[in-house]
Amino acid sequence: MAGYRDLLRTPGVGRMIAAQLAARFPNGMSSLAILLHVEHTTGSYGAAGLALAAASVGQAVAGPVTSRWMGAWGMRRVLTLTLSVCVLAFVALALLPLQIPGYMALGLVAGLSTPPVQAAVRTIYPKLVNSSQLTPLFSLDASLQEIIWILAPVAITLVSTQIGSSVGLLLVAAILVLGGGWFILSPELGRVRIPRSRRGFGAVVLRPPVMLATVIGFLLIGSCAAVEVGVVATFDHGGLEAGIVLAVFAVGSLAGGLATGHVPIGPWAMARRLAVVTVGLSLTLVSLNVFWLGGTLLVAGIGIAPALAVLFAITTASVKFSETAEAFGWAGTGQLIGAAAGSAIAGFLIDLSGTPQGAYLAAILFAVAALIVSVVFVRAFPDLRTRDPSPIPDTEPVSTLMQQP
């Protein structure tokens, strides 16, 4: 932990971590807030699912686009524009009397305008610390983001069910303003400028490490989403046990990320970390007892944040600085699509098997697929044990001819 203390003493690091966590906190609330509000006002989970699907599609489409805009227009301008539109969309969702098409339209707008905070902060990190601190910083970031997924769903569920679903949406809007405003006004955003990318839109995702980060992120988050569906189905649609078990899953990830933060990242790092996730998830099929599930998901969680840290590190180390934000935008889109696919497949397998174990089977299949990809394509992973994990500079040395005297 001494290494993390030294890291947090680096000027700007602690403030940037706190600000981006506050700015991203609504990400853990928005889906549930939309789901609960639309179901409450229409009386239909189907309608709520359509509105939520529209928001998810919007986020997936916008991720690479708004991230790339930051290189053309500047981070503060893009973040301020998207934040403003997103806040207005949530206020409208909360206050306007709408039918299903209206909820879907505003859900799509809210998704499209989700501020690209994650891409922005992971572009800033390499400029705050030296190369030896970058991998631990990514591990710390991946670990601390679990706080969002532990606290945010509980907070929005309590507010939306006990006070009112409209109040829940307004709470999301308020936190967007406060957290997003803090992040946008952070001095670090003014000191870091992303150069305009010279390559065409989407070209960065064709780089093997970025493609691997996108594909493995899709599979890993798909596995986590399937676990969430399985836990909720196991404990009667979100009882106290469900919250506790999911919290244990997140705590395992938090602990794993903090424990491995200073471990050098080699080509086999991803495979080893995904193996831990796969073993833990495989054990869930033995029993649906709350203590057994808690223990097995604690084991599986130990590999989640470390695997995400590898994704962040190989993405940063494999692209030019001007392409970093767009690369993280594509990786984020992969994760969003994975979450939707994992939830859908888990639900289908629960219906097909008639038991929550279908969802855990889906989670295992996603994790096994991620492990296979990481093994088969191991040569495409950069070896960060012996090289600088910082982004490739946009300026390169130019060869000149020297005239002999």
DSSP string, 63-79: HHHHHHHHHHH-HHHHH
Q: At what angle do helices 240-260 and 208-234 cross, to 10 degrees?
A: 150
Mean pLDDT of all residues in 210-223: 92
Q: Is the pLDDT of residue 401 over 50?
A: no
pLDDT at 239: 55
pLDDT at 236: 64
Q: Is the pLDDT of residue 2 over 70?
A: no
pLDDT digit string (tens) for 229-262?
A: 788 778 865 456 777 888 888 888 888 888 887 7
Residue 285: both structure tokens together: 């099929």
DSSP one-letter string for 5-18: HHHHHSTTHHHHHH
Answer whether 350's CB lies under 8 Å from 242's CB. Answer: no
Question: Which DSSP symbol is given to 328?
Answer: H
Task: Quickly tell me which residue has 């390499």 as its tokens.
Answer: 126
Question: Which residues, 6+ apart, have CB-to-CB distance to 238 below 8 Å?
Answer: 157, 232
Q: Is the pLDDT of residue 405 over 60?
A: no
List domains and CATH numbers for the chain: 12-193 (1.20.1250.20), 201-388 (1.20.1250.20)
User: Measuring CA to CA, how many Å separate 141 from each of 15, 24, 34, 135, 339?
Assistant: 12, 12, 27, 10, 20
pLDDT at 184: 93
Looking at the DSSP bridge assignments, the partners of residue 320 are 392
Q: Is the pLDDT of residue 100 over 90?
A: no
Counted residue by residue, the chain has a size of: 405
pLDDT at 394: 62
Q: Is the pLDDT of residue 170 over 90?
A: yes
Q: Is the model more confident about 174 or about 404? A: 174
Alpha carbon of residue 264 to chain centroid: 22
pLDDT digit string (tens) for 313-341?
A: 888 888 887 788 888 888 888 888 888 78
Q: What is the pTM of this model?
A: 0.81
Short-list 295, 275, 288, CA closest to 364: 275
Q: Is the pLDDT of residue 61 over 50?
A: yes
> Alpha-carbon distance 119 to 391, whole Å?
14
pLDDT band for position 169 (cuts 50, 70, 90): very high
Percent of the chain with pLDDT over 70: 94
Looking at the DSSP bridge assignments, the partners of residue 233 are none
pLDDT at 259: 82
Q: Is the pLDDT of residue 56 over 50?
A: yes
Answer whether 217's CB lies under 8 Å from 311's CB. Answer: yes
